[in-house]
């Protein structure tokens, strides 16, 4: 597992199938959310209330 900063945000890369399964299936809720949008993107995405940018929760489900 490697973490790199791509601009202002960290990006996590998982190279092992077992680690990916553990992270995304067994601990999926920890990785389900999205980072806060930049101010201009918040306007374009209706304050993150659409399926492609919504936070994990009722709107996303």
Q: Does the residue 14 lie in any domain?
A: yes
Q: What is the mean pLDDT of residues 22-48?
A: 74
- What is the tally of structural domains in the chain? 1
Residue 42 has pLDDT above 90, yes or no: no
Q: Does the residue 6 lie in any domain?
A: yes
Q: Does the residue 59 lie in any domain?
A: no
Q: Are 2 and 12 within 8 A, CB to CB?
A: yes
What residue numbers bound the domain in which 20 lies? Answer: 2-33
Higher pLDDT pick, 57 / 2: 2
> How do residues 29-39 score in pLDDT, each as one tens digit?
887 777 776 67
Q: Does the residue 28 lie in any domain?
A: yes
Instruction: Report how far apart the first and last C-alpha atoms of the chain are (Å, whole number).
Output: 28
Q: Does the residue 27 lie in any domain?
A: yes
Q: Does the residue 15 lie in any domain?
A: yes
């Amino acid at each position: 597992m490697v973490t790199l900063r791509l601009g202002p945000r960290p990006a996590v890369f998982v190279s092992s199938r077992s680690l990916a399964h553990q992270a995304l299936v067994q601990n999926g809720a920890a990785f389900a959310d999205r980072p806060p949008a930049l101010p201009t993107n918040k306007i374009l995405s209706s304050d993150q209330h659409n399926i492609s940018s919504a936070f994990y929760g009722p709107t996303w489900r």
